[in-house]
Chains A and B, each alone.
Chain A
Amino acid sequence: MNIFIKLILFLGITSSYGQTNTISGKIKSGSGVLPYANIYLKKTKIGTTSNENGFYELRNIPKGNYTLIVSSIGYQTKTIKISFNSNQKLTKNFSLSENNSLDEIVISGTLRPVTKSNSPVPVEVYSTSFFKKNPTPSIFESMQNVNGVRPQLNCNVCNTGDIHINGLEGPYTFVLIDGMPIVSGLSTVYGLTGIPQALIERVEVVKGSASTLYGSEAVGGIINIITKRPSNSPKLTTDTFTSSWGEINTDVGLRYKLSEKIESLLGVNYFNYQNRIDNNEDGFTDLTLQHRISFFNKINIERKNNKVFTIAGRYVYEDRWGGEMDWEKKYRGTNIKYGESIYTNRWETFGTYQLPTTENINFQFSANGHYQDSFYGTDKYEAAQLIGFGQFVYNKRIKENHNFLLGIAYRYTFYDDNTFATIDENGIKNKPSKTHLPGIFLQDEINLNKQNKLLLGARWDYNSIHGNIFSPRINYKWNSKDKSDIFRVSIGNGFRVANVFTEDHAALTGAREVEFRGQLKPETSWNTNINYVKKINTENIFITFDTSIFYTYFNNRILPDYESDPNKIIYANLNGYSISKGISFTSDILFTNGFTMNIGATFMDVSVTENNIKTRQLLTETFSGVWSISYKFDTNFTLDYTGNLYGPMRLPLLGVNDNRAEFSPWFSIQNIQLTKKFSNSWEVYGGIKNLLNFTPPANSINNANNPFDIGIDTVKNPELAFDPSYVYASNQGIRAFAGIRFTLF
């Protein structure tokens, strides 16, 4: 070592004449510049690092022969021989290629598809990269890739749907944006469509008993869409794709600053499908024609003392119609041609304001208005819903191990429509329904010790129509010392007021008449979940196994009864009970060579027991499986293979003479996608959806050629009636899609 230093010193002294040589240039890598690269002359003390623009300059180099070395961690080192006479100014640019030993794989936690949070409540976290494996126009459709969750189409003509979690229908699922409830009712479907996916950071899914924070309605579960923070999102994101059916979906996300202290995030989603396709030749459009635009804007205001203030707004407009192939707008509401046409206008605003107090108190608020103007054939359905919501949440940590949460909440719901659901007792005057729902809740998260956590919660609400609602909840979590094994148990109850028209589009579609028997009572239920997570991590493979057992007992349930009378849909209190139970397995396997697998299966038994007769719930599968398998060839190519498999579901038939199958077949929808990343900014993807070309039978819409039941006595021959409610899968067969993403940081 010493010899070297002496040698360098010696060389330095002997050549200290005319030290005027200079070399400068730019260091690049790929398409960008490379800052902080090391540039030095071997065996000398002359060296520098490139600046932010990749520029470097070495000055005062004595004449002689040198070895110039350019290196940067993560890049292959470049070495060149160089010689200087005197007073030379050289310009040399270098381009470093990435070092393969470091970039074999790009795996990042935030980009990781599925994770489970640390909380006693089992929250599954799905990042946008999970949904990008099978791009869809809305989060509603994307949910098909989540184990135990099934987006269900309710109507063959208008293609509206709801989310089933573990066999429970949409109204049991609570949809939140950034933790703010976009309360159920008319909005259940629209909560998940029209959210620009460019703005979504992650989606959290809770199956079964949820936290006391969200009220007692969420028996089925919670879907919480977390949008990006302005401070942590790219300047511009665009994502556009189209399919061989002619669907066009565009997402744009834009970050901008209103002032030094106000950061903002704007998202726009546009979806358009205007192709009349009738591959099954039933005379009806296979896929509902849609035109949808939504705007979402979120503002983060920086305040003194680090207090929170965020406010967001969203507007969605949608025009959709499905029906006979030659339907035109002028036939809307007439009996010339059958069509179901829905115009939706929806606005919402929500936010959080932390009070300027020393104690941690948050005021959370949301308000939304939803207007639907629709015709189902000749049946008009026009509805308006207004919801206001506000709550104060006080958060206090007491000692090290108690985390208290105390809240008061108030919710106001206004609902009005043109049906008899909002008619006064005498059946003459329109009487919109107005519900006040004040509530109070308390939660204590107790860290018993490093391995045991307990979450106790209680909530009391007063419903202005149905009275007191008390819902206690308990969650317990145990983890092994190294946190590789986690065990969770939760028990809680649920309470829900069924709102048939707003929740169940089936009630409006087709020729069936809707009937209410008796005064519908609230549904009450008890729910328990047991969850076990096992993590195995080695140098080459990370595995997470997740098993859940769920059980929900309803002592009342308002379910559509299609079977007692084929001409009617009857809603009545349940003279018995209903049980949803099952077990689900999910395994997430990640090889460090770039191969990932997420496979899940759910077995469930959802039944209704009425007058001691047990029947299986309609449109509910006993088995469902999902998978997402991806391989990253190098940093540029990714192959995704996604799919699902559903067991038979019992379907609603029109009496005993209906010749359609009572059960759906086993079926599987499979998709394949190839993505190529060109740079950090550009990404192109494409693939094939529904590889197996599965479509439901052509006679799914009963008597499609006579939608107004002309000349048919539907009382005598119910099996001849027009009926679009027999639906379990989309009519869209095999199709290609391609898209492009651009991101500007």
Chain B
Amino acid sequence: MNKIFLYILLCGYFTTNAQTKKTTLKVYTFPEIEKLHQQNPKPIVAFVYTDWCKICFAMKKTTFTNDKIIHLLNNQFYFVKLNAEQKEDIVFFKKTFIYKPSGNKTGINELTKELASINGKISYPTTTILNSNIEIDLQIDNYIGSKNMQTILMKFLTLNEN
């Protein structure tokens, strides 16, 4: 019942917004999310990518430019992007994540390991959803088209309702 209700709610939301002009995806930084989260806890969608990953680029260009996805992410989640090989420190919930080099010009940020490792293995892109308690609920190391992304996000919301 809750599921259906939410679907109707969201579908209604989309149709009423269909005519409005394109909205842009709100991308937060990790410190921003930390602050906002204290006032208004929401699940977090983290997109872990690298500069050289073609599928990551494709997802940015397709899935994350899709109006429905943008609305869902803007309204129900905090969306954050993480360059897996980012050299700058990231402060998130009082912990500092640093870049861990592993050789000549190779290495990843510690946060990548936290968010994207599945069975000790990291691949790109990885989309990670953290619930409002900042616990990892879901990791998908796949290309996710906008239709699938919508299904996943909705399902996540409905399951979390229960």
A residues near B (Cβ < 8 Å) are 1, 4, 36, 38, 40, 47, 71, 73-74, 101-112, 114-118, 125, 178-180, 226, 229, 231-234, 300, 306-308, 310, 352, 354, 362, 364, 482-484, 535, 537-539, 542, 544, 588, 590, 592, 745
B103 contact from A178, A542, A745, Cβ within 8 A: A178
21 contacts between A and B (CB under 8 A): A36-B137, A73-B138, A73-B155, A73-B159, A74-B140, A102-B152, A108-B124, A110-B124, A116-B54, A117-B51, A125-B52, A180-B104, A231-B113, A308-B102, A310-B103, A352-B104, A354-B101, A537-B57, A539-B66, A539-B146, A542-B54
B125-A109 in contact (CB<8A):
yes
B54 contact from A112, A307, A745, Cβ within 8 A: A112
Q: Which among B14-22, B24-32, B38-46, B115-123 touches the partner chain?
A: B115-123
Question: In terms of DSSP, what is the predominant structure of the interface of chain B?
Answer: mixed
Residues of chain A within 8 A of B54, CB atoms compared:
109, 112, 114-116, 535, 542, 544, 588
B140-A306 in contact (CB<8A):
no
B104-A178 in contact (CB<8A):
yes
- Indicate whether A362 sits within 8 Å of B102 (C-beta atoms), given known contacts A105-B142, A125-B52, A535-B57: no
Q: A101-B148, A109-B55 are in contact. List 19 more A-B contacts (CB 8 A).
A: A1-B5, A74-B140, A102-B140, A102-B148, A106-B142, A108-B124, A109-B125, A115-B54, A118-B51, A179-B104, A232-B120, A232-B121, A300-B102, A352-B103, A538-B62, A539-B66, A542-B54, A542-B55, A745-B121
B52-A117 in contact (CB<8A):
yes
Encoded as 1 (CB less than 8 Å from any A CB) or 0, chain B from 89 to 116 comes to 0000000001111111111000001000
A60 CA to B142 CA in the complex, in Å? 39
Number of A-B contacts (CB under 8 A): 132
Residue of B nearest to A123 (CB): B52
CB distance from B49 to the nearest CB of A (A): 7
B residues near A (Cβ < 8 Å) are 1-2, 5, 49-58, 61-62, 66, 98-107, 113, 119-125, 137-138, 140-143, 145-148, 151-152, 155-156, 159, 162
A40 CA to B53 CA in the complex, in Å? 39
Residues of chain A within 8 A of B101, CB atoms compared:
306-308, 354
Residues of chain B within 8 A of A352, CB atoms compared:
103-104
Residues of chain A within 8 A of B5, CB atoms compared:
1
Residues of chain B within 8 A of A362, CB atoms compared:
104
A38 contact from B52, B113, B147, B162, Cβ within 8 A: B162
Residue of B nearest to A38 (CB): B159
Residue of B nearest to A484 (CB): B61
CB distance from B90 to the nearest CB of A (A): 14
Residues of chain B within 8 A of A306, CB atoms compared:
98-101
Residue of A nearest to B144 (CB): A102
Residues of chain A within 8 A of B61, CB atoms compared:
482, 484, 535, 537
A338 CA to B2 CA in the complex, in Å? 83
Residues of chain B within 8 A of A178, CB atoms compared:
103-104, 106
B53-A112 in contact (CB<8A):
yes
B104-A364 in contact (CB<8A):
yes
Residue of A nearest to B56 (CB): A109
A484 CA to B124 CA in the complex, in Å? 19
Residue of B nearest to A234 (CB): B121
A592 contact from B53, B145, B155, Cβ within 8 A: B145
A231 CA to B1 CA in the complex, in Å? 45
Residue of B nearest to A117 (CB): B52
B152-A73 in contact (CB<8A):
yes
Residues of chain A within 8 A of B58, CB atoms compared:
537, 542, 590
CB distance from A361 to the nearest CB of B (A): 13
A745 CA to B155 CA in the complex, in Å? 29
Residues of chain A within 8 A of B147, CB atoms compared:
539
Residues of chain B within 8 A of A114, CB atoms compared:
54
Residues of chain B within 8 A of A544, CB atoms compared:
54
A547 CA to B104 CA in the complex, in Å? 29
CB distance from B136 to the nearest CB of A (A): 9
B102-A745 in contact (CB<8A):
no
- Indicate whether A179 sits within 8 Å of B103 (C-beta atoms), given known contacts A539-B145, A745-B121: yes
CB distance from B76 to the nearest CB of A (A): 15
Residues of chain A within 8 A of B123, CB atoms compared:
108-111
Nearest 7 interchain pairs by C-beta: A109-B53, A109-B124, A179-B104, A537-B61, A107-B143, A118-B51, A110-B123
B151 contact from A47, A102, A483, Cβ within 8 A: A102
Residue of A nearest to B137 (CB): A36
Residue of A nearest to B87 (CB): A397
Residue of B nearest to A588 (CB): B54
A47-B162 in contact (CB<8A):
yes
A484 CA to B58 CA in the complex, in Å? 10
Residues of chain A within 8 A of B125, CB atoms compared:
108-109
A588 CA to B54 CA in the complex, in Å? 11
Residue of B nearest to A393 (CB): B104
A154 CA to B99 CA in the complex, in Å? 46
A74 CA to B106 CA in the complex, in Å? 32
A231-B141 in contact (CB<8A):
no
B122-A232 in contact (CB<8A):
yes
CB distance from A304 to the nearest CB of B (A): 13
A484 CA to B62 CA in the complex, in Å? 12
Residue of A nearest to B110 (CB): A306
Residues of chain B within 8 A of A118, CB atoms compared:
51-52
A4 CA to B137 CA in the complex, in Å? 27
A125 CA to B105 CA in the complex, in Å? 15
CB distance from B152 to the nearest CB of A (A): 6
A483-B53 in contact (CB<8A):
no
**Most central of B98, B113, B143 by chain A CB within 10 Å:** B143
Residues of chain A within 8 A of B106, CB atoms compared:
178, 226, 229
Residues of chain A within 8 A of B104, CB atoms compared:
178-180, 352, 362, 364
A273 CA to B148 CA in the complex, in Å? 48
A118 CA to B120 CA in the complex, in Å? 26
- Indicate whether A115 sits within 8 Å of B138 (C-beta atoms), given known contacts A47-B162, A102-B151, A308-B101: no
A110 CA to B54 CA in the complex, in Å? 9
- Indicate whether A107 sits within 8 Å of B57 (C-beta atoms), given known contacts A73-B155, A229-B102, A300-B102: no
Residue of B nearest to A745 (CB): B119
A122 CA to B146 CA in the complex, in Å? 31
B151-A101 in contact (CB<8A):
yes
A105 contact from B1, B98, B143, Cβ within 8 A: B143
Residues of chain A within 8 A of B145, CB atoms compared:
539, 592
Residues of chain B within 8 A of A482, CB atoms compared:
61
Residues of chain A within 8 A of B1, CB atoms compared:
4
A115 CA to B57 CA in the complex, in Å? 11
A301 CA to B12 CA in the complex, in Å? 56
A576 CA to B5 CA in the complex, in Å? 81
CB distance from A654 to the nearest CB of B (A): 48
Residues of chain A within 8 A of B100, CB atoms compared:
306
Residues of chain A within 8 A of B98, CB atoms compared:
306
**Most central of B1, B66, B113, B159 by chain A CB within 10 Å:** B159
B50 contact from A36, A38, A107, A109, Cβ within 8 A: A109
- Indicate whether A116 sits within 8 Å of B137 (C-beta atoms), given known contacts A178-B104, A306-B100: no
